[in-house]
Amino acid sequence: MNEITLNAPAKLNLYLDITGKRDDGYHLLETVMTSVDLCDVVTIKRNMSGIIRVGCSDADIPENEGNICHKAARLFFEALDINGGIEIYIEKNIPHGAGMGGGSADAAAVLRGLNELYDYPIETSELLKIGEKAGADVPFCIVNGTKLCRGTGGIISDCPKLPKKSYLIVMPNFRCDTKAAYEQYDRAPVERKNALGRFFDEFPMCLYNVFEELYKSEEISEIKKTLIQNGAENASLTGSGAAVFGVFENREKALMAEKAFSGMYTMQTE
């Protein structure tokens, strides 16, 4: 097999706290992430060129070595000590700058796809380590589901099962830069929440995202308020932003609430 196409699901952070910082500058997290049914679609084709090429349907996404998928593929080939050649094409559906892990999902799909194309030479545990070198959210996006992730993202464990919900995701008219978000945290750290146990006991009433406290954004607060006024059980920022999601009992209620956001980019997912 020389070609494979995979879905790359987006993620939401249902709970996100920063617990510390390593000496090398990487921040330590405690986060509950869940995969949703919004996906990019990643196609990988093997060839004999010895070159990694990346293409994307979104002109704003880099197609050179600056793309995380290029980095993931390079790390995979380095692990096998081969000079592999591939073409990667990303059909982009997950908005970038949203905090929904689009780039990480794509990189994870590249690692999963390459491992399959090369007949699974790398065990999952090792693939997760390679993923962590590519990006903090990549290990989770390799396994998907609903998981508790700690450290820089690579310490993944199962968590109590959460009730099935539908989500309405609202993307405001701005994007957030992850690097700048963590730099803002470094300038003005927020005290650790320590509410993970309560989150599991009272989901979805105890959603939490530390970056909401950092940004203190009126627009984010207004989107959350509108979601709740229109039937959401609760609402929160995901990742370092800028997307905000509302948690609904079912898809019908999420679709009804969507009408309140004319002129904004919205999506329903589960």
Catalytic residue positions? 11, 137
What three-state secondary structure class fits 244? strand
Cα separation, 267 vs 258, whole angstroms: 8
State both tokens at 152: 């820089």
Q: Which residue has the tokens 């993944």?
A: 156
State which amino acid sits at residue 158.
D
Query: Rounded to an integer, what is the distance from CA 18 to the centroid of its chain?
Result: 16
Quote the DSSP letter at residue 261: G
State both tokens at 264: 């904004």
End-to-end CA distance of the chain: 32
- CA triple 71-120-107, angle to 5 deg: 25
